[in-house]
Amino acid sequence: MTSHRSVLAVMAFTLLTSPSVHAEEPQALVQSTTADLNGDGKPEAISVKGYENNGDFDFVLTVGVSVHRMKVGSEVLGLSLLDLDSSDKFKEVAVHSGMTDTDNIAIVFRYDDRNLKPLGTVPALTEVKGNGIILSDSWRGFWNGRDKYVVDPKTQKLTLVPQEFYYVGQEATVRESFPITQTRSDKKPVAQLAVGSRIQVVAAARVPGSPHTAFAYLVKSSTGLMGWTTPEVLSAKTDGLPWAG
């Protein structure tokens, strides 16, 4: 039976040969447009109106005679159209909210038989190619994490496809020596990283039982050894990572 450590080694080799994740150029957003969303051959008038009341935000999305009102966490920027699944007759509309990399969201709706149905929320519409999949990037401190969403056939809701590991692919220089460990949960060192050496942060893994944004990081040393560390250590003891947000 292949050990977990061997699986990590194979995964790391594969990731090291992969290109870095880069977000695509954002779509041009509009406040209103027309399009045939339900495939009946007749274009619908589509518009979104955002409201702010003492720091609270919501919006009204109107498609034809159907109206949907929803609260959001930040300012509404506009809407865009997408074709989530080119094999069906529908096209979808997304309402975009958020002014920064960390609070961007897109709320996706389907217009079906004169009704607006929210399919769910994703951080961004990074890639939509009509194959039923949304690839969505979100900023994770110093890297873009890419998630995959699909529409669940039973619930007709956008569902996150879980990943045990996320590709990071960022490089840094060690400013202060620190160890990388054998696993995410222990302190047994694989190597002590030398001051001035170059490292690559290969992958991230969520920390079980911790907040959704908590990650441990798999690091490749300049000598080719692999081990784990924390974001706190990377922030305090390395230079060159593009921390922001």
Strand partners, 139: 144
CA-to-CA dists, residue 20 to 8, 56, 74, 199, angstroms = 19, 37, 29, 15
Q: Residue 14 is encoded by which pair of tokens? A: 């594969």
Mean confidence (pLDDT) of the chain: 89
Tell me the pLDDT tens digit for each residue of 174-192.
Answer: 999 999 999 998 889 999 9
User: In the chain, what are the domain boundaries?
Assistant: 4-20+166-239, 32-125
Phi, psi torsion values for 243, nearest 5 degrees: -65, 135
Residue 212: the pLDDT is: 63
Asked whether residue 17 carries a pLDDT value surpassing 60, the answer given is no
Asked whether residue 11 carries a pLDDT value surpassing 90, the answer given is no
Residue 245: the pLDDT is: 59
Domain 4-20+166-239, CATH homologous superfamily name and number? SH3 Domains (2.30.30.40)
**C-beta separation of 109 from 117 below 8 A:** yes
Tell me the pLDDT tens digit for each residue of 44-77.
Answer: 999 999 999 888 999 999 999 999 999 999 999 9
**117 vs 65: CA distance, rounded Å:** 14
Strand partners, 213: none
Q: Which has the closest alpha carbon to 149: 116, 126, 117? A: 126
By three-state DSSP, how is residue 41 classified? coil
**152 vs 84: CA distance, rounded Å:** 13
**156 vs 118: CA distance, rounded Å:** 9
Mean pLDDT of 24-33: 78
